[in-house]
Structure 1
Amino acid sequence: MTKKSTLQVEKANVHIVNWLKTYAENAKVNGFVIGISGGVDSAVTSTLCAQTGLKVLCVEMPIHQAQSHVTRAREHIDQLKNRFQNVTSVETDLTSVFENFKKVVPNDANESTVNLALANTRARIRMTTLYYLAGIYGLLVAGTGNKVEDFGVGFYTKYGDGGVDLSPIADLMKSEVFLLGAYLKIPDSILNAAPTDGLFGDDRTDEDQLGASYDELEWAMYEDEAKKSSSDFSGRQKEVFDIYKRLNTINKHKMDAIPVCVLNKSLK
């Protein structure tokens, strides 16, 4: 269940970098701030931003983070700072902020519900941190979401990692992000790591949470765009297509514009 990408990585690289630079210059800002997780999306996004020549601030925001994530993030940041003089970094350990938050909010609901709400809270605390840094340094918050996450299954936190100023890789499938990452020579440790959002403080992967791999979900997204239905498939294909459609449906509220109750003229 894979579709061979036709992405022209060199041209795509140039196009995205020019788009980023033009947008930042028109917005009259100094550059970009990116949260670095140790994953391929943030590594590719930060490398693209670095190529603009504008200021790039890479931010580590651990909250009970797995050591492997921390190690990969630092390896990437060190590599990026060695390659680009316009890149700086800062670490803001948010563990104590998160723990204090847990102390002052109700936690008497179902345990799984509380754990999911707290996972999303981690992402929102990080978003708040990025916007604080963006505000004091005159930067744009660069999003790290890819196409299948942002527009396929909605695998991100609303007003968390979904709260950004611009999204440079959101038209790239996850497989294409990996292709671009290899072209950009991001660390092999990141390219070879199983994708994970790191929001639960354990070793669960994105595939564990989603029930399907990114290659499978990309296949389902293409099939859905081709107006296929569940009845067109059987076996694992049907299972994956149903997973995709379920996630796409329940997460529509993230992908659609915020609904506005419009009053007609007779009421105003």
Structure 2
Amino acid sequence: MNTPKVAEHIVNWLKEYATNAKVNGFVVGISGGIDSAVTSTLCAKTGLPTLCVELPIHQAKNQVSRANEHIKQLKNRFDNVSEAEVNLTSTFENFKTVVPSFESTAKLDLALANTRARLRMTTLYYFAGLHGLLVAGTGNKVEDFGVGFFTKYGDGGVDLSPIADLVKSEVYELATYLEVPTSIQKAQPTDGLFGDSRTDEDQIGASYDELEWAMQMKDAGKTVEDFSGRDLEVYKIYTRLNRINQHKMVPIPICKIPNNLK
């Protein structure tokens, strides 16, 4: 990948889109992870106002410290960067008291994890509406179009997606070029939605390098008959998640009414 040219292309694309949309700039949720760090840096390089928002909900201290380190670095590098923090922990806890209670199950844990992501999305759009900003998505290609590892109308609820055509390894290449803090580049990817130390790999069952490989194999027309051992296991993980998460990747289905019924 021609990393400098890719970075320049994304920055120009962001600037042109914002100019044509007649908005002031961008708002990005900062998690302390690689994707939000790269996305916010690219937005900052446009020269347009870039608001970095921390949205902790029972967040691990190391995630918060990495987010703070990144925002501090960005503000030192770019005069157009500002920050805000909205601690949504009490909002999340209050939400749990006003919905029906259920016994703790995997389904409940997942529903609450997705609720965290949707509370964050709502808050980002609050700031976007106040300041005339676009919500910049932080999803990469493997997450958004490979395994669907995001929350519909949560971190998937955005105005534009600057890095969604880049696989994870390419995001890391950009991170190095953009001088994202080393602590973020070395951190294990995690969505931080469960209030514990589980990583993305723990949840998915495969690393991003493995998922990139499986994505390439599926695009090349390979099938399960072509693999064995760990390769077969990874390929099955990828194809299963790709299949069951198609509802996140395709446009909302619309029931078309025949003209003769109107």
Sort the TM-score into its range (normalised by shorter chain): over 0.9
Once the two structures are TM-superposed, the CA of residue 71 in structure 1 deviates from its matched residue by 0.2
**Percent identity at matched positions?**
70
RMSD, matched Cα: 0.6
Partners of 1:107 and 1:114 within 8 A in 2:
no
Once the two structures are TM-superposed, the CA of residue 90 in structure 1 deviates from its matched residue by 0.3
Which TM-score applies when normalising by structure 2? 0.99
The counterpart of 1:67, out of the listed 50, 61, 64, is 61
Q: Where do residues 203-214 of structure 1 align in structure 2 (5 Å cutoff)? A: 203-214=197-208
Q: Where do residues 100-249 of structure 1 align in structure 2 (5 Å cutoff)? A: 100-108=94-102, 111-249=105-243
Query: 2:66, 2:149 → 1: CA distance?
Result: 22
- The letter of the residue matching 2:19 is E
Once the two structures are TM-superposed, the CA of residue 109 in structure 1 deviates from its matched residue by 5.1
Q: Which residue of 2 aligns with 1:25?
A: 19
Query: 2:215, 2:247 → 1: CA distance?
Result: 18
- The letter of the residue matching 1:182 is T
Q: Which residue of 2 aligns with 1:92?
A: 86
Structure 2: gaps spanning 5 or more residues: none
Structure 1 runs (4+) deviating above 4 angstroms are none
Q: Which residue of 2 aligns with 1:3?
A: none
Aligned length: 262
Encode CA deviations 1:203-223: one digit per residue, 9 max, x unaligned. Answer: 000000000000000000000
Once the two structures are TM-superposed, the CA of residue 107 in structure 1 deviates from its matched residue by 2.4
Structure 1: gaps spanning 5 or more residues: 1-6
Query: 1:258, 1:198 → 2: CA distance?
Result: 27
Which TM-score applies when normalising by structure 1? 0.97
Query: 2:194, 2:103 → 1: CA distance?
Result: 17
Encode CA deviations 1:165-205: one digit per residue, 9 max, x unaligned. Answer: 00000000001000000000000000000000000000000
